A and B are shown apart, each in its own frame.
Chain A
Amino acid sequence: MEKYIDNHLYDHLVNNSRSMLSVISRNYRYEKVNNTFCRIQNRSSGSIIGKTLSDIWGEETFHSKIKNNIDICLKGNIVRYEADFEVPLYGKRFFEVVFSPLADDSGEITHLLAETIDITDLKVSQKTIREMEEEFKRLETSIPIGLIRCKPDGTILHYNSSFSKIIENDERENLEGLNLKDFYKEKALFDLQIFHFENEKMRTFLRVPLITCKGKEIWCRISRYIVTNKDTNLPLYIDFALEDSSREIMLENRLLQAKKLETIGSLAGGIAHDFNNILSSVFGYSEMLLDEVKNNQPAAEMTARIIKAILKAKDLTNQLLTFSRQVEQEKIPVRVKEILEEAIGLIESLRLPELKIDKIYRESDAVVYADPTQLFRVFLNLLTNAVESMKDSSGTLTVTLDIVNGEIVKKESGKSIVADDYILISIGDTGTGMEESVMSRIFEPYFTTKKIGKGSGLGLSVVYGIISELDGEITVKSEKNKGSVFSVYLPVSYEYTKDMTVSDQKRILYLSGDCHESRILSSALNKRGFIIDYKTGMEGLAKIDGKNNALPDILIFTNDPDNIDSDFFYDYIREKNINVPVILITDYDHDLSKEKLINSGIARNVLFKPVSLKELLSAIQLTLNK
């Protein structure tokens, strides 16, 4: 009975197995097959048993895929292999075949047991998975988004090539095992990103500063996804998707700043305009008052002081108007290097022992259309700031001059319309550098980091205004404790008409101390067609002894106490009885000798420093017309 049950059970197991089972004799004939075999072969067991394998599978298949393996099995080995076979019911399928030797009581192998399992579905899904993996790999390497998988502590387990690129891993070092946290500028931000929002699996952070392998600071948009253990709900990995949005942010910021400066500019311009009206009446009344109180020394002195204050206020409103681009510049072709050299010369004349000045001129002939005095102001301002940013003026000042393509300006400034070529003047220091927050505001008027009373807070605003007026660009790069670099881009002028000539060439004697600004002005006048004789000190004064030498048409005299002061000048002119119209360039200080020059009618025109080319030209015109 028990045996019956056993046989029945075995039959059941054998017939309902999902594998094709058969017993094969040494001469390759089927002796037993199960139901699955019959079903897949679509034959009855009677029509299989007694047949050779070659009959069932075909001669070619038998020889190429079966016989060898059977022979190995018949030598006493279990053989396991995969192959595809054609079956009547399903066509071509993949099978796993296992041949196990069967021995009789004497140990001689008389038969073998063949088990054939249809593994087609497995094969197909394996292939699909492989394809998907390849697809994912392709995607992972081709998308411009950095993908990183980390342990919860930040240890990098895996990353794609885009991450390597973004983080400037140009040496192709293996980053696995390093900590992602170390690339964060603020490590605390990493922890915050992960733990503060623990409840949210997915979270995107828009502006995260990272430091690249090369030490550059970049801004990234980072999304992180926490992969948790399903049972414990503890974090297993953290996946990061990271995009470099530095350029986007830079352009956005520049646009914002430009808009802000424009707004401040129109406000400042408006105030300056109204203030100039008020100053006009104060100025006028003060001058009338001075006339009234001429004979009352203290009152005259006080009124003169009011006028001095008005002139200072005038300079201030003029600076604001320059910032808001409401002062038109008198533009002439200017060789940038010459002006730059003058400004550097002024810094060099300070003889700062710890200051090294590196000049790298890759270009020396480039010409821009500008007012040279304004350009000088720009350079001097940037150079002075650079020197002041270095403690005890100790460090290196690097000044470079180069020509760059407009495309670079487009990239650096975000401007959409640019000139073909720009002259690039960059002024770098090894000073204290600036924070991002300072950098974004430096061109705003009255924004200053200098101590109160140390600077007007208008210097860089004026620089900005002048450069904008010239259709130029100014950018700044800075790193705390390393230094800053200001880059000025000015459109190159190729329409350099040789010095303009005026038919009736007037002769001007330009008498001044050894002053950089005077040199610039005199050379600009020369370009304008005037015959200029630029002299410093007594030697120049001797030129107008009133005897042998022909007198110049105009004498421009810059008050310089170190050279010839206005007192001496006045006496000299009076004594020798020289009759030449004089344009006096002076500062606001009120002194008697200057008054003497003006009241005696020797000085036909008075200009206050700083003098722009436009002012000087109009003063010359006025003097010549008289």
Chain B
Amino acid sequence: MKGIMIVEDETEVREMLKIALVKRKYLVLEATNGKEALSKFKPSVIDLVITDILMPEEDGLKVIMKLKELKPDIRIIAISGGGKAGPANYLNIAKALGADEIVSKPFSLKTLLSKIEELLDSKQNQ
């Protein structure tokens, strides 16, 4: 069973993702902010992390950097509802920091799920 961690401070989005992922038979772990995500993260269980960027207590960008250190082959999907730091927007920074996919909100669940599947498949093939 593949493990996915959802890092998202918006309860509604987190819940929705959880329901969708559980339905697809993934093992789901939740965190409401970056700090919690880093403390809950288990390299042996989690294969993929979906993380929001703008969050209180350690934002998503830090999560991406730290997780890549803890588990280099972790798959990461960054999601954001927009926002920019300087000339580049957060999602592009996330990509530069090692996120495998970036998705802007609001996203199509169908598209997100196919991306998840694809990333996990590619991992298996490695």
Contacts and interface: CB of A to CB of B under 8 A. Distances in A.
Interface of A: 269, 272-285, 287-288, 310, 313-314, 317, 321, 325-328, 605, 622, 625-626
A273 B16 contact: no
Contact of A280 (B13, B19, B54, B118): B13
B106 A314 contact: yes
Contact of B10 (A277, A287, A317): A277
B61 to A, nearest CB: 15
Contact residues on B (Cβ < 8 Å of other chain), bracket? 20 to 34
A276 B87 CA distance: 21
Please provide the 10 A-B residue pairs with the shortest distance between their CB atoms, ordered closest to farther: A276-B81, A279-B106, A281-B12, A276-B105, A284-B16, A284-B109, A287-B109, A281-B16, A273-B81, A328-B89
Given A288-B20, A321-B82, A327 B13 contact: no
B110 A279 contact: no
A281 B19 CA distance: 11
Chain A interface main SS type: helix
Contacts of B16: 280-281, 284-285, 288
Contacts of A314: 106
Contacts of B118: 625-626
Contacts of B110: 287
A321 B106 CA distance: 13
Interface string B1-31: 0000000001011011101100100000000
A280 B82 CA distance: 12
A280 B106 contact: yes
Contacts of B17: 284
Contacts of A328: 84, 87-89, 92
B19 to A, nearest CB: 7
A619 to B, nearest CB: 10
A326 B12 contact: no
Contacts of B105: 276-277, 279-280
28 contacts: A272-B81, A273-B54, A275-B81, A276-B104, A276-B106, A277-B10, A277-B105, A279-B106, A280-B10, A280-B81, A280-B106, A280-B107, A281-B12, A281-B16, A282-B106, A283-B108, A284-B16, A285-B16, A287-B110, A288-B16, A310-B106, A317-B81, A321-B82, A325-B84, A327-B82, A328-B84, A328-B92, A605-B111
A273 B84 contact: no
A278 B91 CA distance: 19
Interface in B78-126: 79, 81-84, 87-89, 92, 104-111, 115, 118
A237 B108 CA distance: 77
A622 B77 CA distance: 14
A475 to B, nearest CB: 23
B33 to A, nearest CB: 14
